[in-house]
Structure formats: C-alpha cells, structure tokens
Chains A and B, each alone.
Chain A
C-alpha cells in the first residue's frame, strides 16, 4: 500500500525519508510511476513548506527553491536567462507542475533544466545545509534538495538549445548549454553541458578545453566541433540512436556556439 505523508517543513520531510520513500516535487514523474503501479517505493513524502517555492537574491547569486516550477521561472524577470530552458520542458501543463528539484533527478532523456544549470555552475544546497556543485550532486543523486544557487550570466554569454523532433513540445534528442565567458576578447573558462547524451546531464570537458583561448567564430571553434562527443557514449532510445546523436552533435554544437538559427 502506498502512503502519503505531508510535513509542514522541508526539514521534517527530509527526516522522514528512507529508501522506500520518494520526495514529491511537482509529481510529473512520480505520479506517472504511481499510476503504473511501480512497487519500488511505498511512501510519498511531501511538504507544504512555501520556502521551497521562493526565488530570492542572495549576495551576487540567486537562490531558486527546489520546488520552483518551470512556469515560475518563465514568469521571473530575474531568471530570464533560464526561460529558454524552462520553456523546453514539456507543454504548458507540465511546466506548471515540473519543479527544478525534480528536473535534477529526472532520468534520461529528461533533465533539460539541469543541463542549463550545469553550464551555469549552479551550486546545490541540500536541506541540511550542505552545498555541493551540481556536477557532484548528479554523480550521486540522493538527499533532498532545498535550493539552487545560481550566478547570473552577463550579456549573451549563456546559450541553451534543445533538439527535438516534435515542436513546440517534444522530448530531447539532445539539449546543450554553454556559458561562454571571455577574457581579453577570447573564450576563457567556458562551460559546456549536454543532456540526453549520457545517463545524466554531463559537462563536456573535451569541448571546454578545445574552446580555451580561441575566438568565437568558425575557425576558432573547429577543434571543439571535432571533439563534440569525445569521451561520450550517447544512449540509444526510441527518440534517437546513439549513432545518430553522435553524428548530429557537432552541427548542433556549432549552432549553439555561433548563435545560428536551426531553421
């Protein structure tokens, strides 16, 4: 039998967790499992704690509660840089429900928002106060997330692109995000992340390294495009084969980096 437990604070909810429990975000993934009789969990733990849905400034960073939905991100002026990634998640009804915290845990090929946050070097703040990089969180994926701490990118240095077969709504063939930081006119300290190209959203260090010190033009990015899928073994799924993902990745990476339109 499935039990639902509701706690007034996220701290109490986190204390109630065990490996038979799932912490409820918007429920778009959990309820799907419930509806189809998943027996790997028998408790749903939820909280009515409003602080989980807050977006607030903290020093030079923004703190985005784990329960903030894609629709709230799209409606937030402070988070305008994330609106293209938020819009990439499902249709309007899904976006009213899907939370940022749930997106970090979403299985392949989901996690489009996590891809954007990975490129932005977001920090994950757990309910008990521990902070860790999103990259480290994705490697272990456990514990209840309180919020994400995000530094606002400058100007047009942040880019996001989702490739899907059905528009406007469709699951990712891949998604890509780039934080194109520069120093003295050349790229420096760039971060690149992909979704649907590995079991979780990943940073692509081969591409990041190939972009160090180059100029952002066709010649400058050539080496990065050659390294587009270095070290990756993209999965096969009903949306696309791994082979296809590998073949088209350089094209989409070029469009992302140069800000070209797909059509």
Chain B
C-alpha cells in the first residue's frame, strides 16, 4: 500500500507516495531523485545515508518515511547555493578529505549539524560529531582537518 507524505526537502515542499514500511533513504533516492545520500549498510552502522531532520543528523536508512511528514529534511544535494559550494564542501575538496567519496555526503551532513550548533568546535567535538560515520579511505584525519578549516573559514567570513 502507498501513502502520501509531504515534507520539506532542502527548503522546497516535496510530496511523494511511499510504500508501507519504506525507509527515508529509499524515498529520497527513488521517490525524490535526490541521489546524494548513499546506501552503505541499511542498518545504521556506516552513516553514509546521514541527513538532517529538523536540523539534527539521522541515519535515513532507519527512518520510517512516514515519520518525516511535515518536517524539514536536508541532504548534501541542497548544500551548495547555485554554483557556490558550502564552506564544508570547499574545505573537503581543498583538504583532500574525499577519496572514493562514498562516505562524504554523510560526513558533510554530520559536520553541518555540528557547525550549525557549534560554529567553533574543538577537534574532539568534531571527532564525536562524525563518530557514527565510517570512512574506509582517508583515515579520518583529512576529514577532521577539513571540518575544522570550514569552521575557521566561516568564522572569518
């Protein structure tokens, strides 16, 4: 059975029919065509599917799609404004914080939630914020550095 769900996706109203029991990740990718959140494990362990719901990070593979009705969902797909990348995206590129890039959308959203709440985090606060996100390529250090760099850039702007 399909039921209609209406929510805000990256600032725009979005209305989709969801299969009963579908998770938000599937609905974003297949229903809304936003391929930025990635499927890694489907069990909450990898963080590749991390999106923000009402500003807070959630693993979208474990969110029952119906539960986002009326709420605001943000994905990496909505980070840039036009051609201007978000400071986090810029810092990830400049700092070689993405290799294969599969974990990157999840890392970016976890980092955005942190910086929105805490514009000048310590290194250990950054580590904590991305502790639910696995990266098999970078060894994490470039990612942590990039997030700290983005915080610095934003502070300077």
Residue A92 at the B interface, CB < 8 A? yes
- Does B79 belong to the interface (CB within 8 Å)? no
Q: Is A35's CB within 8 Å of the partner chain B?
A: yes
Residue A100 interfacial (CB < 8 Å)? no
Are the C-beta atoms of A3 and B58 separated by less than 8 Å?
A: no
Measured between alpha carbons, how far is A1 from B3 in the docked complex, in Å? 14
Pick 26 A–B contacts, CB within 8 A, sort by A.
A2-B20, A2-B21, A3-B1, A4-B21, A27-B63, A28-B44, A28-B59, A28-B62, A31-B23, A31-B63, A32-B44, A34-B21, A35-B43, A35-B61, A44-B64, A46-B67, A71-B56, A90-B44, A90-B132, A91-B47, A92-B110, A92-B113, A93-B47, A93-B57, A96-B53, A96-B57
Kindly state the separation between the CA atoms of A90 and B39 in the bound complex, as whole angstroms: 19
The 6 A-B residue pairs whose C-beta atoms are closest, nearest first, are A91-B132, A2-B21, A31-B62, A35-B42, A93-B57, A169-B131
B74 contacts partner chain A, Cβ-Cβ < 8 Å: no
CA distance A97 to B67 in the complex (A): 11
Main secondary structure, interface of B, reads mixed
Interface residues as binary, A100-127 with B (CB distance below 8 Å gives 1, 0 otherwise): 0000000000000000000000000000
Collect the chain A residues with CB atoms within 8 Å of residue B23's CB: 31, 34-35
**Does B66 belong to the interface (CB within 8 Å)?**
yes
A204 to chain B, nearest CB (A): 29
Residues A31 and B61 in contact, CB atoms below 8 Å apart? yes
CB of B129 closer than 8 Å to a CB of A:
yes
The interface residues of chain B lying within 8 Å CB-to-CB of A28 are 44, 59, 62
Residues of B close to A44: CB separation below 8 A: 21, 64
Q: By the criterion of a CB under 8 Å from any partner CB, how many residues of chain A are at the interface?
A: 25
> A96 vs B127: C-alpha distance in the bound complex, in angstroms?
17
B19, chain A: closest CB distance, angstroms: 9
Knowing A31-B23, A92-B128, A92-B131, the reply to whether A6 touches B42 (Cβ < 8 A) is no
The digit string for A76-101, where 1 denotes a CB below 8 A from any CB of B, is 00000000000000111110110000
Interface bits A1-33 vs B (CB < 8 Å: 1, else 0): 111101000000000000000001001100110
B72 at the interface (CB under 8 A from A): no
Q: Which residues of B contact A71 (CB under 8 A)?
A: 56
